[in-house]
Structure 1
Amino acid sequence: MNEKVDFTAIPAEILADIRKRAKVEWPDDREWQEDFITVETKGYAAFQAMDFSEAALVRDDIITQAMECFESWEERASHAETEIDAYAEIAMTAPNDIPADVINKMKQDIATEADWFAMQLDSLRGAIDGYRYVRDIREKVGPIRELLVRMEGIIGKECYNGNIQNYSSWGEWEGEGRSFRYPVTFIQNGAEVKRRTSYSDLAHEELVTGYYKFGANELSIYRALMQIIDMLETEYGFVRPEARD
């Protein structure tokens, strides 16, 4: 059932090590030992025949990583193949909708984050998605920012708590219940900030994170308002500010 393997093409010390590990891995199963030997010798052959032409500049780095991080030849070959493909994709990535200097800066930054190119590729994809998200949000929110803030302000001021006990400055009780301005929580620089007024320092992509926090619950008020504007535009003929003459 096992495929034929040309053991003469495998150095004696490599083959001996593979057979030794097969006995350790499957001490009481001869058939599994043979399967292990077949897989590992094929992995060794694949690793030795690996085409590094698309990653010639980092060939030694990839080989070193594979040898240091994996004991199995199958895993080493798989790792090398993945790294070669990732390196080539990073090098070729140049989206038409993102300026070249921005992409180059992304590539420089991800190169400092991880040694493995597969991980760098994931980071690059995330950076590209993040850039597009911020760009698109800024284009969408910019013209309607003032409208969003005014709408939220109207909603936020319509909060009322009938259980609040009101007393005058001299201690005389003036009745129950009070209206108040509900605070909005935003995510700014990765941290929560609570505001009731003054949003001018918030970037467009930070403004749209604004939400009302009700204990363990949250209401994404700014995203909801954006959906309302989309609905008004689609169903009721609302014209966004950027579309006005």
Structure 2
Amino acid sequence: MSEEKTTHFGYETVAREEKQGKVAEVFHSVAAKYDLMNDLMSFGIHRLWKRFTMEFTGVRKGDSVLDIAGGTGDLTMKFSDLVGPEGRVVLADINESMLRVGRDRLLDKGYSGNIECVQANAESLPFDDNSFDVITMAFGLRNVTDKDQALREFNRVLKPGGRLLVLEFSKTNNPLLSKAYDFYSFSALPLMGKIITNDADSYRYLAESIRMHPDQDTLKAMFEQAGFANCEYHNLTGGIVALHKGIKP
């Protein structure tokens, strides 16, 4: 069977090799105002979702952590404090603009000693096998072209017993919440994007990309197919967001 040559960019069907560039354009456009827009879009709740994620990581002093699609470094800073000077945290993002914003923010806040910043594609990570105790990916997986390949790569670079946590927008089964969420996503988000970043199209793509992302049970099955054990997920805010966790055997 020949490999599928097209994929989704939001609701648009594009050639697989085009998606990465199109996603890059979105994040080049929004990088400078990314944190502000996250606060506005989620009414600040994204901070609670990330705090919940941190509680599940089990990160300890001396651990090695990969924060992939780490963007502006929210989780990286917390991991840096937890692993201490003997630990290692890698802030990785495929997008140069996002990585630059994250690196500058970390330096401005006095973080540097145990942190590396690496431009990296989740589908082809530049790290050795069995390198990390924990990998986190917050709101990045839906932008990856080949999600199955990315999950296999995460499994490869984790140490045995290592943990993968993926925080991502997901599917709510509450009809009223779903209706309100759709109205908000396709009306309010592009308008906010236009006002704050002068870019409505990028935020329309982000809303569409959420709808095209696998639901909770599908993503859990993808974790298992990639070789993870003890896979589970936790719905947050009625399933608008879900945290998936898997362990490398």
Considering fraction of residues, name the structure with more strand. Answer: 2
Larger relative contact order, structure 1 or 2 (CA cutoff 8 Å, min sep 6): 2
Measured against the shorter chain, the TM-score band is: under 0.3
Larger radius of gyration: 1
Give the TM-score normalised by structure 2.
0.20
Considering fraction of residues, name the structure with more helix. Answer: 1
Give the TM-score normalised by structure 1.
0.20
